[in-house]
């Protein structure tokens, strides 16, 4: 019909409580890499984005976090959704983004294309939100070691391109620079901060 915004969808029903719940889930996931968390909210957001991606976006994006969207995620509906609810700007350049949303990891750019921060300000790097078909714990796949993990943790992440773990391993040497990643599948999320080492 005659709506100005292209099919704008509602955001959080209780913004404060829900944003805090999602923030808490992300915080816990970042502190315990490989631990699968529930984003803790139900949103009827724009296609094709998943529940957890939307919840993270509404909780963390704001007017000074440029967001990069991949080809699948980039639609006027998604863009206006985040702009309306968070005030964030979209950027076309992956290396200028503070957040990146990757809806189709099979054709994602190299990790090195994103901003790794600087030695003086490593916190200014891109945080990637990668949507994957499935996340599994304790089922082979890859081994995680590093801060926040007792000994080792094995996880399986579906749908990543072939060279992905190689690209990520190369970035381990750049510490403190690097890229933090949050994987999302439906309403669940799993974080892989730059400090975590992956053994294939």
Distance CA 149, CA 151 (A): 6
Minimal distance, residue 66 CB to another protein, in Å: 22
Contact between residue 33 and residue 148 where contact means Cβ atoms under 8 Å apart = yes
Per rule CB under 8 A, is residue 200 in the interface with another protein?
no
Q: How many C-beta atoms surround the C-beta of residue 145 within 10 A?
A: 15
What is the nearest approach in angstroms of another protein to the Cβ of residue 83? 12
Is residue 150 exposed (0-12), middle (13-18) or buried (19+ Cβ within 10 Å)?
A: exposed
Chosen residue from 10, 109, 133, 161 binding another protein by CB under 8 A: 10
CB 64 to another protein: min, Å: 16
To another protein, the closest distance from the beta carbon of 114 in angstroms equals 31
Site string for another protein, 56-85 (x = CB under 8 A): ----------------------------xx
Q: Which of 12, 183 has the CB closer to another protein?
A: 12
Whichever of 11 and 100 has its CB closer to another protein, that residue is 11
6, 71, 87, 109: which one binds another protein (CB under 8 A) = 6
Q: Does 1 bind another protein (CB under 8 A)?
A: yes
**Site stretch for another protein (CB under 8 A), options 4-12, 27-35, 63-71, 183-191:** 4-12
Q: What x-and-dash track marks residues 12-41 binding another protein by CB under 8 A?
A: xxxx--------------------------
Name which of 84 and 175 has its Cβ closer to another protein: 84
CA 186 to chain CA centroid, nearest Å: 13
Using the minimum distance from each CB to another protein, give the nearer residue, 86 or 125: 86
Triad 65, 68, 72: Cα angle to 5°: 145
- Listed as own residue / partner, the contacts of 70-74 with beta carbons closer than 8 Å and 24 or more positions apart are 70/100, 70/101, 70/102, 70/103, 70/104, 70/107, 70/108, 70/109, 71/104, 71/107, 72/48, 72/103, 72/104, 73/48, 73/49, 73/101, 73/102, 73/103
Which residues contribute to the site for another protein (CB under 8 A)?
1-6, 8-15, 84-85
């Amino acid at each position: 019909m005659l709506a100005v915004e292209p099919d704008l969808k509602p955001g959080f029903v209780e913004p404060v409580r829900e944003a805090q719940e999602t923030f808490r889930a992300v915080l816990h996931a970042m502190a315990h890499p490989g631990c699968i968390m529930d984003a803790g909210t139900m949103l009827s957001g724009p296609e094709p984005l998943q529940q957890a991606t939307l919840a993270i976006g509404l909780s963390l994006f704001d007017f000074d976090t440029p967001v990069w969207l991949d080809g699948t995620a980039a639609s006027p509906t998604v863009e206006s959704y985040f702009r309306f609810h968070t005030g964030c700007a979209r950027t076309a350049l992956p290396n200028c983004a503070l957040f990146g949303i990757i809806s189709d990891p099979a054709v994602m750019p190299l990790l090195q294309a994103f901003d790794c921060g600087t030695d003086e300000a490593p916190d200014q790097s891109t945080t990637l939100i990668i949507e994957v078909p499935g996340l599994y714990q304790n089922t082979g796949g890859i081994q995680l070691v590093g801060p926040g993990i007792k000994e080792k943790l094995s996880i399986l992440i579906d749908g990543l391109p072939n060279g992905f773990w190689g690209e990520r391993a190369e970035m381990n040497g750049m510490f403190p620079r690097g890229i933090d990643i949050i994987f999302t599948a439906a309403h669940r999320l799993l974080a892989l901060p730059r400090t975590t080492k992956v053994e294939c």
